[in-house]
Every structure is written in structure tokens, then in C-alpha cells.
Chain A
């Protein structure tokens, strides 16, 4: 421990020199002010690996320019049993850099940081809002954190949020010269500088200066792709009482398999027998697996519990079998065990779940790139992935939660990098056909059938399993532009295929749908699927990113009231762009008005100058969607 103390003392003396730093707000370069609510004046993060633990020493001086920067000044430090905070303290300076007040640990509120949905986690938080009542002001604070493991070394992200500019920020990683690491620099303006301390520790140092505040731009790629980041992973590590070593995904997957997952699949003999009986007579392995998966879905439900080795180790399969609940790890491990009872092999796959398609870095293995677990069925000529935390999701369907991204399968042969299925713009289809009659008094009546496929399958999910009274409330919100919507009949069907399909049929009416004015009747041509325009962005920085493609098709046949005819300019638009296409057409034939609309959005990354086209594209759709039809008496 002696050496750590000397290092810390050394740092203290450095910071003592820093204490004379001048935090006068007028010294901030004008270039850093646009879009900034706060400016990091100076931040240093010192990380040292030592005796099976990782020590962090973080010191930050940040100037808050206005009220919007208060959130940035809100000091929030998470900790738990294996991450311990020490020596947290700081100082507040006024606009001119004059000391205003000091604060220490006693000023911090200490609270549980457990998610509301979690049954158990030991995560806690200390937080404090320094304040002097006027803007701008500067806070300087520091703390130490000891993490009792060396597997996960925190990423360094010098400008982690929008509205924050950075004058200067440095990161130093120190370890014994024989402690092997790999590092990855992402969007770093400067490369690493290596050196050593007086005590003979090897150091790696990165520094950034004058980073402008990032402005939020719609249709931006994931922040990870454009923010500056340094990631570090150890070669040999110590975690939860276990030693390990890895330099690539294969080795990390092998360690996970051997140390975290092995020997946790034992099931009681009755359950094994039950599974054998359940699947007796089914020869096809995939059909067997489907039967078992559906059995698991009916029997269990998801509850978040973060215990075990840092939240990495699943509950025993026998435990989930007994309690009928578990978190994602527990449920995947349990499903694996059930499949094994029917002699079906499957792989435990870690993934970064969420609507944004976040893939792990192919060339940099580390443990902190995941937040969820799914199961892979490596059948012959067919790889099927299973989401095990939902009672309702179809077998083999991943939805927009884990689709189209790389995952790491942990197998006895080590980690295998795999890619989950992509649902294409054509597959993610919403197809609607409606037959509406408009009466002379403005009432709308008719029926409407909508198919929802692929990632759009979930669109009518809120209707499923609800009583009609609740379904009507939901439909009135889904079709909010049909005022006075009354539902005569609703039918729902779900076809739980791997590319699932839901069908919704509504028989409806709505009085005063068309409004009378001066012997004319007005009604909204497209009351069922309105697109809004998107915001323009001046001086855009980021490329245009469309995360997921889809297709919407709407066809409405209106029967017009007798004695009226439509008074309208012909509507016929056909737009084709690299990122999508739009067509709309109105045909009038006697007392029938047929409206056809099709929008296809194609996912991908497009150059930033395409953004103006995208704005125009959506505006064209929005304009066409807000078209009102005027009916005039013959």
C-alpha cells in the first residue's frame, strides 16, 4: 500500500500547485462558448492498477455558464460494495475565480441507486449540487474510487454530453511495467504518450484541449462513433475472487464460459423428465426447441436481480426452475438447461441491447460492452436467436431490442463473434387498407385492416389482451386524428413467426369527421398515418444516420356522399432518394376517392449534406399528409 500513498501524495502536491489555477470566467476562449452550458476548465483522471484493484483519482474544475449547466455541476458518484469512494471534496468559485465556499463529504446526499424495476442491487449514489445562486460560477472537486477488481477499467470520455465544452482534460493510466494492457483510441485528436513514474510504474497519458460543445443533431449516429474515447483492457485480471486472462474475444468468451457459466445448468430430474415427455415425438430439433421455449415463456417471468459475481453470473438453473423468475442471465441459462435436457445445444450470448443498434468493437475485446444476454441455437444451416425475458415474443424473433448487431457467444471452444438477424425495410411493413364512407352530415363509417410485420409487429401490442373498453381508449390515441372515434368491432390476430405478423381489423364510425362550412364539406385525406416534418440543422457536423428501415403502405377508399364532388388539385407525388421513397396518389372515380400512400425508409449512414434532402423529403410527406379534401355540392 505504501507506494499508492506516495503516488497520492505526489498528486496532492501537484494539485496544490493547481489550486492557484485561475478560474476567472473571462479567461475561457470565445471559441468554446457556442452551445455550451458549461465548460470543463481542467479535468484529470488518474487510474492505477495495483494489488488486484483499480484506483481512480478524479479531479474536475467546471464552469457553469447558466442554469442549463446545473445538471453538469450536479456531482453524482455511484458506488457499491466493490467500488468504494474516498476523500470527496471541492470548492466553489465565483465568476471572477474568487473562492466562494468549500464542501466535503458531509454535504453529499447518499441514496440507493437501484432501478425501480430491480428486485435487488447494491448500487448506491452520493450526490450534491454546489451552488452560489448566480451565474457563471466554477466548481472544482475531487474524489478517489477504489474498485476491487481489475477486469473492467472505466472508459475515458472527456466530453461525454451535449452542451459541455472542454478546455483541457487528461487521462493517465499507471501500472507495473509487466502488467499487460491493450488500449483503443476512438476519435482521439492526439496519440498516447508513455512514460514512467519515479516509483517505476509505467504510464500511458492522453490529453485533449479545446473541444467544442456538442449540439444535439437529429438522425445522428450513436455517440460512441463520434465522441473521443479511450478504452483500456487488461491482459491478466482479477475479478470476484477469480483470476483470468484474455487478449481477444475468443479468450474472453472462453473465460466467461469456464468461470461464470459452467456447472450452473443442473435441473431436478422431474423437470428433465417433463421436458423429455413434452418433446417426445418431435423429431425436428428446431420444433423441439420452440416447444421448450414456449414452455419456458409460460412458466417464468423477468425480474431484475443484480447479485452474484458483479452481476455477471447467472442464477442456478435449478433456482429459476423452483422460483419461476429470473433476470436475463438466469432465464437464458435456464432455457439452455431445458434445451440440454432435450439434447439441444445452445450458446449464451452477451449483447448491447436497445433500440439503437450498438455492436461491440470487433477488434477490441473487453467486458464492459454489454448489458443483456440472449440465447443462440446453432442448428445446422440455421442459426436462431432467442430473447428469453419476454412471455410474449415469438420464437426466433428479437424485435428492435437486439436485432442487427454483433454479439459474443460464450461456448466451450471460446467466444464466437456472431451477428443477429437484420430486419429489412421491406420486412418491417405496416400495410393498411380502409374502406370509409362519408355521409352528407359528415359522419365517417367503415372498416380498416392493418398488417404489422417485422419490427412493426409490436405497434398494436398495447391492444393485445386488453378488454374492449381499454382497447377503445388505445385506438382513440393511435388514431387521434379521427375525432369522435367509436369502435364497433375490433379483431386482433398475432402470427408468431420468426418474422411475426399482427393483424388489426377495426369497424368504426366517427360523427362530424367531415366538417361543414359554407355548403362545403372538409375532411383530412389521411387521418390515420401522419408524418411530421423534421427539424432543420444549420452547419451540421454529424453524418445522417437512419437506424432502422421500414415501409408504410396506406390505401383508403372513400365513398363520397351523393350530391357532392371533390374540389381538389390532383395529388400525385413520387419521390425517390437514397434514404427512402415516398409516393402518394389520389384517384377519383365517380363517388369513389381512392388514396394511396407509400413511405419507405432505408436504414444506413449518409453524408451530412444529405440532411437537407431528408428535411425536404419529410416536409413533402408532412404537407401531403395534412391535405384537406374539400367537397362541393354539385
Chain B
């Protein structure tokens, strides 16, 4: 990743005026009209001919606003890209903040039925505005006369109230771009940090000074004028098992560092250091006020009554919060009030986990809140602090010399386990009484499943015996969720029995379904119909009775981005089989032992026999959470070997 930091103040010097221009609307060339493919990527269904964006901060009748102008021309090569002609533009509009999208203009240049070039303008009455919810509105329009080979073009200006939300710019998209340029005009009253992400190189990066570009009620200042250009940008192609594409897309982001009130001259530092954020959060209603000591003393008194051990108290409180507040599916890094959430039994992520922090602290257990960014939200930039990059809060409880990361928003999560979405690099521990610090967000447990099959071949040709499976870590969590999808355990078993065609479940037992901190057990007494009848002299038998790998999850020849599973995994399968007298094993699978480089994982199988009994074991282990593109070929090959090995049969024959 290529991160570059610009401190914009540096660029303010006394040079020339530069007015780089947006390209003219409605211009096209005959060559563009005749183009049938995009030479740099012949697989493209469409590509951006030109894209231009410009942001400026300006005074208006009702305060300072940020104006973002966007203009694009897209060549539509075939009908698979017609959806590019239907445009949805979202903008924020709630009780306090009124953004808008203005000056929408669009046109399609196309060949008509007679082969002559025509231009169809977007009709203003065909631009629809919809209210999505109490925060968001949308402008939607469909460009007319879209046909293969046409060029669509549109432009609009987004007006953002204030200057805190400076628009970012994504150079890369799902279609390739011939050229994309973003220009920003920042009056010297404001200072933003700019950060460039992604692996692609800028082909243009310029900074100049514009004289007196900002003037309002007698206050004037110069602007820094920055342009970022990129040519020949490839399409971004997502891969399976990757984290947020945001982490890899080439883009430029801006964050406000400080500003001077143009009318009073008062300087406001917005965010410079973690200590500023620490201070702000500590004194905020949505964060610090919600985790004050003793806030929830009355709520938790009955929960911890009679408990003296800190760990026992912590587990009881965790379970109380899990059960009492139902997550309303909203992500958040601020609470509307933890008491309100407890009383109404519903709340967002911050409501629930800040309630947990407050409750644990109220019980005397030293607990801190941890801000993090979920996988889908992408990685946090580590160059300078930006509070708004976080979208999630968890709790860090310190008990004895151990600390536990807790998320009470999912009632199926055991104490001390984080959901996959939270396992994303690092989180920031906000401790209120000392400076905040980073902490690793890694899985403390694996995905772990062990199956033991003990089966006896009956004279009627059926296998009879037990299948005992134990799930721990993330596998236990997933399995519990799967069982709980049914109204009762009986309904789960009935469904399992129905699904396992040839397996008849005679008796079953599920262990520790609700004891989240213990391994989940599933014990089945079964009868399996594998051979149909015993009227054969020779049987071939595949020892992997369930979950055999038949296709490789990895198909690409090579990868650009890491495979990120979030956690290591371990799968063991052991089959003990007892044959009746009178049979001999003619052939058995070869033992396999293959490892990934750097102890990244292994695949092991073994076969041993003793008299009429044999044991087959199959172990698949992945020891890392993340595999980098250079490790990918080994990972893919390991799966090939698993598939190959699991094809091999055991053959046994009747003694003559």
C-alpha cells in the first residue's frame, strides 16, 4: 500500500494563478464514436473516457458550504454496461444538515437508426428525488437512448453544508478509466490532511496557489489548488475471501485538521493528536458520559448479587447485556443513552457495548471501550487520527492480569470471542483516565471441529455405531447458530436426519448448546446404508463419509490480494471401523502428509489396521488467518491434494 501524506500548509507559496478546467460538455470525437473496444482492456463492457471532479469551499447565504462538481463521459461498448446509464446519487438531508444535488445535466451521444450521430439530452422532468429515510435522499435518473456504442455524459454539483465532510475521490472503479482527475481548491482558512491509498501511481500531482480565491464579507484569502490525475486506470476486480475492497482501491481522502473563522479570526483545531480525540470522547454525551462509573449500578446489582469472583461477575454481566438489549442492526460509534437502550431492550452497537463497559465498570471491573473499524468499513489510516473512520465499539475487560475483548451484540457469542467482522487489524482502546492506545484485533480462538466415528459393519450390510462431533471456537459459534435456526433441538435433529439420506439417526444428544464457553457436542447413534446388500465378494468404500472435498475453493491461477479468513482452522476426522470375521482388506489409501511453507498449515491422513479393525484419520489445519498472494499457489495446491487423497477407496474382500 502506498500512503502519502501531504500537509497542505506547505504548499502555500506565492506563485501563479492556475485555472485548470473541466472538459467541455457535449464534446466528442468521431474516433470515440467508432471505438468498438477499449484497447488496454478488451474485456471491458464500458470505460470512462474522461472523469473530472472539483471541490471548493465557499461562502453562501446560509454559511460556508463545500461544492463538489462531478463530470464524466462513459463509452458504452455493449448492452452489459447499460446499467451505467441509470444513475443514483445519494445525499444527506436530515433535521440539521441539508445537502443537495443541483445542476444535473446529462446527454447521450448515439448513432440513430440511419447511422447518423445524434445527441439526446436528459429531460429535467425525468430526474426523480426520493426520500430513503430520515437521513438520506436520492436523485435518480436514466439517460435516454442508450445503445451499444453510445457515449453517456453527465454532470452535477453536490452541495454539502459546512466543511467537515470534504469529498474523497476514487480513481478506480469496476470499469477501466482512460483518465480521471480531481482538483481541490482549499482556502487558507482551512487545513486538511490528504491521503492517497492504493497501489496505482498518480500521473499528475500539482499544487499551486490561487490568489484571493475566497472572499466573504470582507475576509479574503488565497487558496491552495491541488490536482491529482491518473491515466489508464485498470478496473478493480474483487476476489473471494478478501477484506474490504476499500483497502486496495486507489483513492484520495481528505480530513479537516484545523480552520480559522474567516470573520472572527479565531483558530479551531479540529483533530491533530490522539489526545484531542481522547479529550473529545471523554467529554462527549455519546461516549464518555455513557461509561461513567456507577452509571448502571442499580441495573447490575441483582445480576452480580452473591458473586464475589471478578470473572464470575464479568460473565454474568456480559450475559445479562447480551440478553437484555437486542441489536437493531445499526452500526455506530456513539450511543443515544445506555440506560434508554436497557429500558427499551433495543439499541445500536455503541448502545449495547458501552452499556457493557459501564456495567462492568459499575461492578468494579476495570473495563475500557475499544473503537474499531469493521472489515467491510476497511482499514484505519495510521498516519493521523480520524474519529469518523471507526464504525464499531467493543469492550476490553481487564480481569487479573488478563484482558478480554467483548462484544455483547450477538447473544450467541461466548465471553471473550469477537465476531469475524471485528477482526480487522487494530482497535483503539479509549481508557478515559490514561492516553488511548492501539490493540491487536486477532482471533483468540480457531475454527475447530473434531469428528469421531465408531462404526461396525453388520451382517445386513449396514454400518451401525456412533458419530461424535465436537465443535469449539468459531465452529461452535456457527454450529450453535445453525441449531438455533430451528425452534427446538428435536426439530434440528429431524431435519438433519432428513438431510442425511442414507444415515438413519437412532438416538441423538446435543451437549452444551447454551453453555457458550464449553465445546458444543453432537452425539449421534446411527445406522448407515452404504452397500445396499452384502451379496458381493468385494466392497470398495470411501472412508470420508461426510463433507468430502470435491471441488477446489480456489480457482484463479494467481491472486492480487490476500486470502483473509480471519482465523486459523483445524478439522479432524477419525473413523474406527470394525469388520465382521471373514473379510480382509485388499487395499487402503496411502498416508499423506503435506505442509504449507512456514508452518502455514498441513494435511495429514493415516490408515492403520489391527485384526478386523481399522482406523482412518484425516486432518486439515490452517495455522494462519491471512495468506498473502505469494503463498496462494501453495494454498491452492494443498486443496488439490486434499481432493485427490479423498478420492481413494478402501477395498475389502470376503475370505475365500
A-B complex is real: yes
* Residue A207 lies at the interface, judged by CB distance under 8 Å to chain B: no
Min CB distance B136 to A, Å, is: 9
Quick one: given A110-B134, A483-B643, A535-B499, are A465 and B487 in contact (CB under 8 Å)?
no
Q: Mark A477-506, 1 if CB is under 8 A from B, else 0.
A: 100110111000000000000000000000
Min Cβ gap B81→A in Å is 11
How distant is the Cα of A391 from the Cα of B82 in the complex, in angstroms?
Answer: 11
Which parts of B139-173 form the interface with A (CB within 8 Å)?
140-142, 144-147
Closest residue of chain A to B114, judged by CB?
Answer: A274
Instruction: List, in ascending order, chain B residues with CB within 8 A of A35's CB.
Output: 487, 491
Contact B345 A619 (CB under 8 A): no
- Nearest chain A CB to B478's CB is how many angstroms away? 16
Is B326 a contact of A537 with CB atoms below 8 Å? no
B138 closest partner in A (C-beta):
A112
B502 CB-CB contact with A under 8 Å: yes
Q: A89 near B: Cβ within 8 Å?
A: no
| Cα A470 to Cα B643 with chains together (Å) | 25
**B587 interface residue per 8 A CB criterion:** yes
Given A65-B487, A476-B555, A630-B540: A129 and B498 interface contact (C-beta under 8 Å):
no
Say yes or no for B315: interface residue by CB 8 A criterion.
no
Distance in angstroms between the alpha carbons of A68 and B487 in the assembled complex: 7
Binds A, one of B291-299, B375-383, B644-652: B644-652
* Residues of the B chain whose Cβ atoms lie less than 8 Å from the Cβ of A628: 542, 647, 649
Chain B neighbourhood of A522, CB < 8 A: 644, 647-649
Residues of A within 8 A of B141 (CB): 119
Kindly identify, within residues 102 to 117 of chain A, every residue whose CB is under 8 Å from any CB belonging to chain B. 109-112, 114
Within 8 A of B (CB), among A75-113: 101, 109-112
Q: Does B24 reach chain A (CB closer than 8 Å)?
A: no
| B86 at interface, CB cutoff 8 A | yes
Query: Closest residue of chain B to A36, judged by CB?
Result: B487
User: Smallest distance from the beta carbon of A149 to chain B beta carbons, Å?
Assistant: 23
User: Contacts A112-B132, A301-B79 given: A324-B144 contact, CB under 8 Å?
Assistant: yes
Q: Which residues of chain B are near A129, meaning CB under 8 Å? A: 326, 328, 346
In the assembled complex, A593 has its CB within 8 A of some CB on chain B: no
Give A213 to B551 CA distance when docked, in angstroms: 38
- Identify which of B96-104, B123-131, B354-362 touches chain A: B123-131
A231 vs chain B, min Cβ distance (A): 31
Binds B, one of A21-29, A381-389, A513-521: A513-521
Given A477-B555, A619-B502 in contact, is the A66-B86 Cβ separation under 8 Å? Answer: no
Q: How far is the CA of A516 from the CA of B587 in the complex (A)?
A: 14
Query: What residue in chain A is nearest B497 (Cβ atoms)?
Result: A536
Complex interface residues of chain B between 237 and 285 (CB less than 8 A to chain A): none
Contact, CB under 8 Å: A301 / B346: no
Check: B589 CB closer than 8 A to any chain A CB: yes
A131 and B550 in contact, given A119-B86, A517-B648, A538-B494 (Cβ under 8 angstroms): no
* B501: interface (CB < 8 Å): yes
**Contact call A518/B587, Cβ cutoff below 8 A:** yes
B326 in contact with A133 (CB, 8 Å): yes
What's the Cα separation between A517 and B643 when bound, in Å? Answer: 12
Task: Find out whether the CB atom of B128 lies under 8 angstroms from the CB atom of A323.
Answer: no
Among A515-539, those with CB < 8 Å from B are 515-518, 520, 522-524, 530, 533, 535-538
Complex contact B147–A298 (CB within 8 A): yes
A386-425 vs B, Cβ < 8 Å mask (1 yes, 0 no): 0000011000000000000000000000000000000000
Chain A residues 42-81 with CB under 8 Å of chain B are 65-68, 70
Contact check, B501 vs A615: say whether CB atoms are below 8 A apart.
yes
A132 within 8 A of B: yes
The answer to whether B142 touches A119 (Cβ under 8 A) is: yes
The docked-state distance in angstroms from the alpha carbon of A517 to that of B323 is 53
Cα A481 to Cα B552 in complex, Å, equals: 8
What CA separation (Å) do A476 and B141 show in the bound complex? 37
Q: Is B3 located at the chain interface by the 8 A CB criterion?
A: no
Query: Which chain B residue shows the least CB distance to A623?
Result: B502
Does B78 make an interface contact (CB < 8 A)?
A: yes
Please tell me if the beta carbons of A535 and B590 are within 8 angstroms of each other in the complex: no
Q: Enumerate chain A residues within 8 angstroms of B639, measured Cβ to Cβ.
A: 483
One digit per residue, 1 when the CB lies within 8 angstroms of any chain A CB and 0 when it does not, for chain B 492-535 equals: 00110111011000000000000000000000000000000000
How far is the CB of B76 from the nearest CB of chain A, in Å? 11
- Are A515 and B644 CB-contacts (below 8 A) given A35-B487, A628-B649, A630-B540? yes
Q: How far is the CB of A527 from chain B (nearest CB, A)?
A: 9
B-chain residues with CB within 8 Å of residue A191 when the two chains form the complex: none
Residues of A within 8 A of B645 (CB): 515, 517
- Size band of the interface chain A makes with B: 35 or more
Bound CA span A295–B114, Å: 12
Partner of A535, one of B485, B498, B587: B498
A301 to B146, CA, bound (A): 8
Distance A268 CA – B552 CA, assembled complex (angstroms): 57
Selected from B86, B144, B640, the residue in CB contact (under 8 A) with A322 is B144
Q: Which of B43, B491, B499 contacts A466 (CB 8 A)?
A: B43
Q: Does A299 contact B (CB under 8 A)?
A: yes
Q: How far is the CA of A112 from the CA of B640 in the complex (A)?
A: 48
Q: Which of B324, B497, B647 has the most CB of A within 10 A?
A: B647
- Does A274 contact B113, Cβ atoms closer than 8 Å? yes
A469 lies within 8 A of chain B by Cβ = yes
Inter-subunit contact B501/A619 (CB<8 Å): yes
Interface residues on B, range: 35 or more
Q: Is the CB of B147 within 8 A of A131?
A: no
Is A158 an interface position by the 8 A CB rule? no
> With A and B bound together, what is the CA distance between A584 and B647 in angstroms?
21
| Cβ B648 vs Cβ A515 within 8 A | yes
Min CB gap B390→A, angstroms: 24
A163 within 8 A of B: yes
- Taking the complex as formed, is B388 at the interface, i.e. its CB lies under 8 A from any CB of chain A? no
Q: A630 to B113, Cβ gap below 8 A?
A: no
Chain A residues, CB < 8 A from B588: 518
List B contacts of A536 (CB < 8 A): 497-499, 501
CB-based contact B590/A518 at 8 Å:
yes
CA distance A289 to B354 in the complex (A): 67
Q: Which residues of the other chain, A, contact B502 by a CB distance below 8 angstroms?
A: 619
A533: B residues at CB distance < 8 A:
501
Q: By the criterion CB–CB under 8 Å, are B498 and A537 in contact?
A: yes
Contact B589 A517 (CB under 8 A): yes
User: Which residues from B are CB-within-8-Å of A630?
Assistant: 540, 649
The residue from A119, A512, A622 contacting B644, defined by CB atoms under 8 A apart: A512
Question: A523: which B residues are within 8 A, CB to CB?
Answer: 647
Residues of B within 8 A of A480 (CB): 550-552, 555
Residue B402, interface by CB 8 Å = no
In the bound complex, what is the Cα–Cα distance between A569 and B537 (angstroms)? 11
Cross-chain contact of B43 among A133, A324, A470, A477 (Cβ < 8 A) = A470
Of B120, B130, B323, most buried by chain A (CB within 10 Å of CB) is B130
Q: Counting CB contacts under 8 A, is A456 at the interface? A: no
Choose among B79, B142, B326, B647 the residue that contacts A515 (Cβ–Cβ < 8 A): B647
Complex contacts, B140 vs chain A, CB 8 Å: 119-120
State in angstroms the CA–CA spacing of A112 and B411 once bound together. Answer: 30
Indicate if the CB atoms of B78 and A483 lie closer than 8 Å: no
Check B86–A483 contact: CB distance below 8 A. no
> In the complex, what residues of B have CB within 8 A of residue A367's CB?
none
What are the residues of chain A within 8 A of B486 when measuring CB–CB?
A: 68
Chain A residue numbers with a CB within 8 Å of B7 are none
With A65-B487, A110-B133 known as contacts, the answer to whether A131 contacts B326 (CB < 8 A) is yes
A467 at the interface (CB under 8 A from B): yes
The answer on a CB contact under 8 Å between A465 and B78 is: yes
Q: Indicate whether B42 reaches chain A with its CB closer than 8 angstroms.
A: yes
Which residues of the partner chain A approach B499 to less than 8 Å between Cβ atoms? 535-536
- B654 in contact (CB, < 8 A): no
Residue of chain A at shortest CB distance from B532: A623
List 6 additional A-B contacts (Cβ < 8 Å) besides A36-B487, A483-B639, A520-B587.
A65-B487, A129-B326, A301-B146, A515-B648, A518-B589, A522-B648
- 8 CB-based A-B contacts, threshold 8 Å: A295-B113, A324-B144, A512-B644, A517-B589, A524-B550, A533-B501, A538-B498, A626-B550
The 6 closest A-B pairs by CB, nearest first: A515-B644, A467-B43, A480-B551, A133-B345, A536-B498, A522-B647
